[in-house]
Every structure is written in structure tokens, then in C-alpha cells.
Structure 1
């Protein structure tokens, strides 16, 4: 049983960020973005930010601006500019969704070859192979099966999961027969993580294919969407990448359902608006996108950044950089805002979100070293700044809260009294224009909530969406619940992101851990350990504010409340039982729950079969004692380069020595840890030595 097709080697050189090479487009007009769209959205955001910053200046200028107030003003300018761009992007998206015209739907038969890549790292093989089967069946039924190959590129390091992946490959090939070409490769060494995984595929098999459609382990795409992406690539010779806007599905916990409701109701506004104004300078989010293979190999090879981790070394958030390099070389990077049928899943808990965001935070902050690269379009640079700000903004918000708090304390201790007896949303800083401050507070809330409100309005006006959410009343109450839960979560995530930024700045590397996909529950003790610093921060702020004045405590209460409730909030929003009860009562319902997409229903039907089959996957001990099963997987081991004289890998030596010291397979496995067993499964010579050890025992017993 062979896992892969014949290799067709191709070059994918690492790009030089200090030099530039540019291709000549086939249709020059098709690669140019429309400037007036940027003027409307980015220019509008700048005008809005300038107005708010000027108003804040007037708030402080009533009695002269002091240096602490300058600090607050700078922090406010940075944070408000961030939400202003999201606001104008959401307005543009609303207009396009309501009044715009979607691109033409193409129906020409496919002539090129597309490979669907499924990178995986210790993920659930049953979920992965079940998803591939239902997508492949849909493509076959649509009459385009010959145009697609399916390739699982694994970086799995868990030996049990490795053997389950191989069993799943055998199962899916038996079920689909010769109707689909399904391949599997697992690397022995996970160099450069996911980006290195995809690059390894490109160098060895990329030249077989015109396009590669990259998924994630939790991705699911409707066959019509897969086919349409391939058709759009064939119809546009200057397009290098088309990114879809995935929707979240299959959420079971409260936090997962809140995320999927938000991305379904508000996400299309921002996503569509972004696609509209960035135009040909789109972005790549790492999955659910189709890429022209030749363009990617020629122009998107990632260099290693100078220095050590966390800022140097392999680029973790590779997707933004790859899109920027493609665009730099003259390829169109498009965002297909109109395509439905692109799905993914969300982390089930705040803790899982924190683990994921820690890795993303490091990768996005790395982009600071890519920003000066020669020849990048200013929009590509803005994408990277946006990625950086998605984490840095939390630190800025925290600093803004602390700076405002410091001003209030300064007022309390320097002068007799600066808080009025009546309630006020803002502390009475020395000579503060309270009327302008209240007006600015309202403007800030309006800008912050504009994308949500526009998304709600659009969903209420869209009959199918409104009915899919259970009607107007259920949609409205779900909107209120989402806002409340998100408001409670926001201070906790602010602290989590601020801690991640601090850890990166202090030189800590994120590592690489697989994500949980379903129930995110943890014992109370673990939840307390993860959130005790957040609770302590809330207590400290509450006590300090109370000793200053009750008005300051009231002003800070939204942030303090989320911090104080961090432990029960994290515990209960991660429990699938509470999430299921909300679902049964229609809270946070989305149209994909009222009427599940056909591809999701097909997945749910076939998934139990794969789970049952893979529960019976052979173990290493079984393989050693069954010559047929043991030899069957030899063809699935990825070939490795011959050892150079004088060079010995530590794991080769350790596993080889332990095999030599063993009397039987059981003893060999007892000598080895999980990492060594994985190395054994991934090294042909060592694995054959392991089989020989089992064969010797069988012969002796005979």
C-alpha cells in the first residue's frame, strides 16, 4: 500500500525580503485595485478618528493638557483608530450586502488539476477522513471527480494517532475505491510547522497540480464551493489566491456558540467590507482558500527571520506573509465574499482560545520584522499591522484603563475632591469638559458597536436569515445575550492577550499544541489555576477604585465584573451541557442549525462509522505480532534521505540501541517513550528492525 504518488520535484526558493522580482500580468487592468474604494473606507476611518481625537483633546484642553493626559490622548488615538477602521469596513460591507452585485457564478467544466490539502497535527483522524469522504463524494456526484486529488499531509507525533491515520487511509480507499485519488504523507520531522508542511508538499508533488486548496483539520467545504473556486482560478490567469470567508458550525459550548453566532450575524459585514475595499490586495487566513501552485512555489517561499524565537526563526503566522509575497510579485489575492459553503469550527473554551491565541500572537508580532520588506503593497502592510493590532490593542486598552485610573487617583490625592456627589460616567479630572466627554463616550460606543448593529439589521431584513435564527424575537434576544457574554469575556481576553504580548516580548516561545474541538470543560481547580491572576487583577482594581470613590468603581465596573467572574464564566461557558440547553431553547441559533448544510449532515452520518473503525486500529504491539499487518504500513512511511557519514541523529541512536537491548517487542516498547515510538514508526530501517524482533519471537515459539 503506497501512500503517495510519484514525486515530481520542484523548486520553492525562500524569498529575499530586501529585493524584488515582479511578473508581467496577462491582463494588467485585472490586477489593479480601485483607489476610490480605499479612499471611502480608509479615508472615512481617518476622518472619524481625527474627529474623535480632536474631541478628546477638547475634553482635556479646558484647563490645559498635562503630561498624564497626553498619555491618555495617545492611547485613545491608537485604540479609536483601530475600531474606526472596523466601523467603516462594516458600513461598506452592509452596503455591498444590501445593494451590491455578487460576481458571476461560473459553470464551465474544469480542465486543470486541483489537490485538496489537509494538514493535520495530532488531530482526530475520524473527523478528518470523514470530512474528506463527504467532500470527495460530493465532487464525484457533481461530475468533477477527475479534476481533484485529496492529500492528507500529516505532522502527527502521537504514535496512536499515527496508526489511526493509516487505518483511516485504508478505510477511505476501500469505501471510495478508484472513484477518488486519496494520498497520505507524514513527515518524520516537523520543520517549520504548518508552513513547512505545505512547502514540503509543494517541493515534492506541487508540479503535479495547477491549484491547491488548503484546508484545516476542522474545515468543511461544500462541493459546489470547491468546484467554483477552481473555476474562478481557471478563469482568471492573474489570480494567485482566492480566500473564502468561513462560517463557524458545530459549536456545542456556550463560548463556541457565541463565536459562531457573532461570525454568522456580524462577520459577513466586516468580511464583505474588507473584501470590497482591499479589492485585489486581499489576504490569506491559512485555510479554506485555493492557491495557484506555480505562483505559490515561485513567489511565496518563506525565509527564516533573523534572530532567535520568538521574533526570529520560522514565521509562525505564515498566511499573511504568503499573501503579501504573492501580491508583491503581481498576483491578485482575492476574497470571495459571496461564496457560501465554507465552514470551520471554533475553540470550545476561553482556555482553548488562549492557547490558540498565544501562538497566533507570537506569529503576528513576528510580522514587525516583515513590514519593512521591499516592494510590499501598503495594503499588505496594513493587513500585517491589523494582525499585530489584534493582540496589541488589548494591551493598549489595558494601558488606557490604567492611565485613566491613574488620572482619577491623581485628582483624588492632589486636590481635595474631584468626584461630584451625583453619578457620572467619567471621573471629574481637573478641569474636565464633562459634556464633551459624555458625547465622546457615546460616539465611541457607536463606532464600537456599529458592525454588530448593522449585522443585526441586515439579518432582520434578510427573511431567510431571520427565519433561520428562529424569527425576529429569538434573533433579538440572542443578540442581547451575545453582547452580554462578549462584554463579560472581553476584559478576561484583554488580560490574556496582554499576557501573551508580554510573554513574547520577554522571549518565551509558544510551542505547538493540537487544539481541542468539542467539549472544552476542565476541573474547577484547573480553571482556577488558569484564571486566578485575572481574578486578582479585578480585585485589586475594585479595592483601589472603591477607596477613591464609588463613581470610579461604577466607571470601571464593566471591566472589573468580567475579571471577578473569570473562573465561573470560563467554567460554565466551556461546558457542552449548558451549551446544549441553550441550543434546545433557541438561544444563539443560526440558520445552519435550523437547517444544517447538506455537507454537515453527511459528515454527521458517516463520522460514527469512522470512529468505530478507528477504535479498532492496530497498536504497535499488534503490528509486531502480525506479519501481514506489520508489513502493510511499510509503504506509508515517508522515505528519508540516506545518513551522511559521521552524522547521527540522537533519536536514531537511542531507538536503535533500545531495540538492540530488547528481547521482544513488548520490552522494546517498554523501553521507549512516546516520542521514541513515533520515531520508530517514521523510520523504515528501525521499524523493520522492530518487525524482525517480533518475527524472531514468533519463530522461537513455533
Structure 2
């Protein structure tokens, strides 16, 4: 490691406090693993597929799959036949055939979800016991938290809280802890280092907590994890992957490690994260839905998936060596959005590790796994665009060689999850055109083809209402199943305010979701269109606070939705009043898009509903201790305002921070003469021209601060700048 560059007369850190835990190297000794990029379309099963070591654990869930896929197919066939009967009045025109095809595609999606929920509902009624806490573990596990321009007070508080809870199990010596930073904001970078120094000092020298920052976030989150695996993965049998908003209890993490040790064929074991700590009305609706309906859906998925499961990218444990050998992601041919780096890496990693013969499964009833959610409709649409691109990109991976049929089903589910919005919109438009044709165009009674009767664009109204009722019943049934399970479970029932409040909360969630659905339909349709036409989404950090969105941003985002809703209302009234009645939920949601988006983003309104007992979850009534501790610690760390301090000013003001910051910079080859970047040249010129640190801080923009804080020579120049009103280091030396 390079010798430290310190300002004159400053003592080195080791001289002031050689036992300071913060002075230890930020990362452990490297234990490298090779992680080659996989070939998606070349796979020799005879050589690359491992035989199971515990064949007794490989039981195919035939009954659950028969109910899910057989039931979904039967429902789709019945719904399609009924729709055919609806339109087969006076003959089936081309537009009617189009309407039928779109209906079948959309109906199949909700039919499959319904059948899966039936399986989950039946399984939840026969509760499975949570595994006992193990007395000992054999292997070493790394707990890794990738971070990217997050508020350090939040993420460091979260990891410390999880660490403390794992230590309380008595098995903490089996776990090491890593912050894997891809941060590009120079101020957040320095704040992370301050927070890292703080957490090491709080927890003492025995806490094996490490911090690594990559200078270039190649491969984004997947590349971040890959960098950890290739450098330190060889030291750990498993790794628990967290997200920046994750919380997991110590017993849950220990049980995951024990489950991995007990199952030698397991590759990934996924938990079901519940949403907590949300206060805006929009986020509270998501929180309630995830808590009440989520278990039914997740258990249903778990039952039919069995050991052919999926991975959601966080709150899961992974067998490190298997992941390294089989989950290296290739870049897809071509340019983004369909080419380049794979965005939704988790689905692909699950498919690849399963292709190699390892099991991927979920433990949905384990508990103790939490996350947060975007606070507003606008925030979720930003995240949704990235997910949309990643899922549509899976069309390039869908036919990879050697994948199990279940892995292909996961890809299809993700792709179709976004295609349903444009398909639904097309179904609405075709229906409107048919009604318009019937109202304004005289049918051609006798065409050139021989026919005894003319073709009228008519429908069977009675059968249409029956089919609508069936569709709504299938769509809402998973919510109803979740409500019944919540009422059946005493803790959930009491924690949600009792049966009456559960019914009121469910009704409110259904109404608000119905109003939000057409807005999300247009948002997701826009995402799909942008991606199909070649627009890349990028990767912006997610907003994780609970603050409100400015009204001007909401108006700008939803004005086109309001205009389309108003246009639909006017057109509907001109065509047929019954058409307006049929489309009223959709029209109302679009016309009210701005007030709905604004009101649901308000924290105060969410708190009003909470005080009234509406949308309350058991985790709010009896807050998990880990959530209480995490929130309190995050608030305590945020009071210091370290998240907001200018990085250059912080490095100048704190000699110990500066010494550690320089020591943790990567070693570089000496710069070749003449190889000067514009950012570095400008940063050096500004620092050299500044007479005080205040001038340098005000002159350096974000990119220049990043360059300056990455260069030991420039840091030395910064350290020698005096504060306003002080003499420079050279003047003091001359005296």
C-alpha cells in the first residue's frame, strides 16, 4: 500500500491510535474464485450437469403443477369459448377475431394466477412449522450489501442492526459482512467512508465488517456481486445477498445458512420479503397488499415451482462456488435495450444455476425478511421501466440451451407481466372500434359472397355480463384468499385491526388499485413502446425516502394520461353512453390521475389512514424489534448530517478521515507523461488557483470532486489549502 500523503506536521493515524478498529485494512485477504461468462446457447448436459447428492430431496410437485397449469388452461379454454359465444352473434368479423385473441391472451394471465393462488391458499391452511434455530453451523457465510449512491445513515444502520441480531443468536462467528459500494457521487463516497469508520469503532475490532468501493460500476449490481465473488468468494461457502433497503433477522439468516448446509444440492434459497416502514398512502397500499395477499401468491409459486424456483436478487442465500462456476453473465449481442448487459440478472442467474443441476427454491413462510418499496406512483414507474427493459430482454435468453421448462416459464411470466398492459390497451381500443362501427357505419347487408343473412357487429349482452362477472371473480379471488387466510390467522387478524378493519382495508385497496390500474397500463405501455423502439433506461438510484413528490412533477408526468381520459370520455359519449358505463373505471382513473398520484404520494394522508386503522399490517401494530432498532439507529446517524457534507470539505477538515481515505485508494500505475484527462486538468487548475478551501469547494463540480478525491496528489493539494481567515501551510512554514 502506498505511503500516506499528509499535510505538514500532521501525525499518522497509527501513531495517534494504533489499536483503532478503523485503521485495519478495509477488506480481508483475497480468496479468488474464477467466474467465467457462460455460453447461453452451448450446454453439454452429460458433462456440465451435476448429479444430485441428495436425490431423496428431489420430489416433483406434480399435483401443484397439475392444478396450476391444468386449471389455468381449463379456465382459459372456458373463458375463450364463452367470449366466442359473446361475439358470435350475426357472424364473427375480423375485428371480433382480434378481440377474441386479445381476450384469450389477457384472460390466460389472470387464470394462471388464480390457479396458482388456489394452490397457495390450500397450502397456507395447512401450516408448515418454521425450522428450529440450529445450535451450530459448519460453514462460513458472507453477508453482502451492494450500495449505489444511497444515504449512508440508512444502509449502515441497517447492516449494523442485522449484524447485532445475528450476534444475538450466538453463531455470529460464522458470518462476515461486506458493504459493496458502486457509488459514483463523491460526497456520498466520502460519507460512506465516514460511516464505515463509525461502524467499526462502534462494534469494535472483533466485528468482521468490510467496505469495498469500485471506481467503475461495470455490470451494475450483477458486476458488483461478481467482483466480490471473484476476489473473496473462495473464503465463503455461502453468501447472503441483501438490497440497500433490506432487513433480515438474525434467526432467519442463521436458518438460511443451516438449510443450505443441510441440502448439498441447493444453489439458491429465496425468502419472501415483506414491506415495512412505509407511510405515504401509495406505499401503504402496497405494504398492505404484500402482507395480506402476498403469502398466498408466494406459497402458490413455491408449491408448483418446487426445486425449479426463481431468484429475486436479494434477501436470499447462494452457494458461492456454484454461483461462481455457473452464473457468470455474458453480454448479449447488440446494443441496449435488448443487447448489452443483462439488467434483470437474478432470473438468469437462477436459470443458469438450475441448468447446472443445483436446486433453486423458496422458503416463503420462514419470516423475518423485510424490504421497503417506492413511496409514490412516479417512483415506482421509474423502477418499473428498468424492470420492464430487463424482463423484455429475457426474450433473448428464453431459448437458451439446457434450461428447465420452469426457468423458461419464469422468463415468460416476467415478459408477459409487461406485455399485458399494451395487450389490455389494444383490447380496449378494438372494443371501442367495434362499438363505433356498430353506431356510425351502416352494415353491408349483402356482400359479394353468398349469405342468407347479413352480418351485424352485435354481441350477446347477457353472456357478456356473465363473462365480465367471471373475469372479475377470477381477478379478485387471490385477494379474497389472502383476506380469508388473514382472518383465519389470529396474529394477522388482530395485528390488522380485526375482521371489520381487514374488510374495510381490503375494499379500499381494491378500489384504489382499480383507479391506479389504467394509469399503470399507460405507463407500462409507454415503457414497452420506448424499449421496442430502442431507448435504453439507464440505471438511476431508487428514491428510498418517504417524502412527497412535488405537484409540478406529478402534473408533468400525468398530463397526457388526463388528456387521454378526457378524450375517451368525449368519444365514448359521442359513440354510446353504454360504452362510457362499460369503461367508467378506466376513464375515471385516467381523468383523476393527477389528484390520485398527488394524494397517494402524501405522507400526511398515509398517516391519517394509519391512525384510522385502515391498511394497518401486523408489523405496524407490533413492530419487529429489528425494524425498531434499525429505524432508531438510522435516525441517530442521520442527525450528524454526514450524508450531506461536501466530500472535499470533509476530507480537508478531518486529517484521520483523509489518511484513511488515501490509504484505501487503489494502487495505480504511474501516470504516463502527457496522459491527462480534461476533468483532472480542470480540477488541478481550480485547486491550484484557489486561495482557500472554501473557494475550492465552491469551484469544483461533481465530476471534478470525484477526480480530485481519487488522486493522492490532488488530495495533498487540497490538504494544504487554508480555511478562510487562516494562513496557508507555506506561510506557517516560512514563519
User: TM-score, normalized by length of structure 1?
Assistant: 0.94
Residue 673 (str. 1) matches residue 701 (str. 2): yes
Instruction: Please tell me whether residue 6 in structure 1 is matched to residue 29 in structure 2.
Output: yes
660-669 or 122-131: which moved more? Answer: 660-669
Alignment of 1:419-434 (within 5 A): 430-434=457-461
Question: Root-mean-square deviation (CA), in Å?
Answer: 2.3
**Cα shift readout 1:64-89 (whole Å, capped 9, x = no counterpart):** 21110111111111111111111011
- Of residues 466, 471, 474 in structure 2, which corresponds to 1:447? 474
Give 1:323's aligned residue: 350
| Aligned match of 1:634 | 662
Q: How far apart are 1:619 and its partner, in Å?
A: 3.9
The corresponding residue for 1:425 is none
Equivalent residue for 1:366?
393
Once the two structures are superposed, the pairs formed by residues 32-431 of structure 1 within 5 Å of their partners are 33-102=60-129, 104-105=131-132, 107-415=134-442, 430-431=457-458
Report the Cα distance in structure 1 between the residues aligned to 2:351 and 2:117, rounded to whole angstroms: 23
Residue from 642, 651, 656 that aligns with 1:623: 651
2:42 corresponds to: 19
Partner of 2:731: 700
Taking structure 1 as reference, are residues 667 and 110 closer, same or farther at Cα in structure 2, changes over 3 Å only?
same
Structure 1 gaps of 5+ residues are 417-427
Distance in 2, matches of 1:153 and 1:688, equals: 27
Cα drift, residue 437 of structure 1:
1.4
1:677 Cα offset (Å):
1.3
Deviations 1:627-678 (A, max 9, x none): 4432122233345577689977665555456556666655544443212312
Whole-angstrom CA distance in 2 between matches of 1:225 and 1:6: 28
SS in 2 for 1:152: strand
TM-score by length of 2: 0.90
How far, CA to CA, are the matches of 2:486 and 2:656 in structure 1?
58
More displaced 10-residue stretch of structure 1: 216-225 or 171-180: 171-180
Report the Cα offset of residue 680 of structure 1. 2.8
CA positional deviation for 1:446:
1.0
1:514-593 → structure 2 map (5 Å cutoff)? 514-593=541-620
Per-residue deviation at 1:372? Answer: 1.3
Partner residue, 1:612: 639
Aligned partners of 2:190 and 2:650 also within 8 Å: no
Q: 1:477 aligns with which of 504, 524, 532?
A: 504
Work out whether residues 188 and 679 of structure 1, in 8 Å CA contact, stay in contact via their aligned partners in 2.
no
Q: How many residues matched?
A: 692
Q: Distance in 2 between matches of 1:594 and 1:242?
A: 29
Equivalent residue in structure 2 for 1:467, among 483, 494, 508? 494
Cα 1:219–1:626 shift into 2, 3 Å: closer
The alpha-carbon distance between structure 1 residues 170 and 44, as it changes in their structure 2 partners (threshold 3 A), is same
Distance 1:9 1:676 in 2: 34
Shift of 1:50: 1.1
The answer (yes or no) to whether the contact 1:145–1:179 under 8 Å persists in 2 is no
Q: CA deviation at 1:608?
A: 2.1
| C-alpha separation in 1, matches of 2:542 and 2:247 | 17
Deviation of 1:690 (Å): 4.1
Contact 2:33 2:321 in 1 (8 A): no
Moved more, 430-439 or 479-488: 430-439
Cα distance in 2 for partners of 1:513, 1:40 equals 41
Question: What's the CA shift for 1:348?
Answer: 0.5
Structure-2 change in CA distance of 1:697 and 1:24 (3 Å):
farther
Q: Over residues 502-527 of structure 1, what are the superposed CA-to-partner deviations in whole Å (9 max), with x where a residue is unaligned?
A: 11111111122122223342232221
Deviation at 1:63, TM superposition (A): 2.2
Measure the CA separation in 2 of the matches of 1:26 and 1:154.
36
SS at match of 2:360: strand
Cα distance, 1:435 vs. partner?
2.3
> Cα deviations across residues 418-449 of structure 1 (Å, max 9, x unaligned)?
xxxxxxxxxx9823222221211111111101
Output one character per residue of 1:569-598: Cα deviation in whole Å (capped at 9) or x when no partner.
111110101111111111101100110011
Which range moves more in the overlay, 319-328 or 664-673?
664-673
Change (3 A) 1:552 1:640: farther
Q: Give 1:182 deviation, angstroms.
A: 0.7
CA offsets 1:238-271 (integer angstroms, 9 cap, x no match): 1000010110001100000000000000010000
Cα separation, partners in 2 of 1:651 and 1:6, compared to 1, 3 Å: farther
Structure 2: distance between partners of 1:120 and 1:541? 44
After superposition, the Cα gap between the structure-2 partners of 1:401 and 1:343, relative to the gap in structure 1 and judged at 3 Å, is: same
Secondary structure of residue in 2 paired with 1:168? helix
Higher alpha-carbon deviation: 136-145 or 32-41: 32-41
| 8 Å Cα contact 2:518-2:586 kept in structure 1 | yes
Report if the CA contact (8 A) 1:186-1:637 is conserved. no
Structure 1 residues 307 and 602: CA distance shift in structure 2, 3 A: same
| Cα deviation 1:78-113 (Å, max 9, x = unaligned) | 111111111011110000100253464352411111
CA–CA distance in structure 1, aligned partners of residues 636 and 491 of structure 2: 33
Deviation at 1:531, TM superposition (A): 0.5
Q: SS at the partner of 1:613?
A: coil
Is the alpha carbon distance of 1:26 and 1:687 closer, same or farther for their aligned partners in structure 2, counting shifts above 3 Å? farther
1:651 to 1:333, Cα distance in 2 relative to 1, 3 A: farther
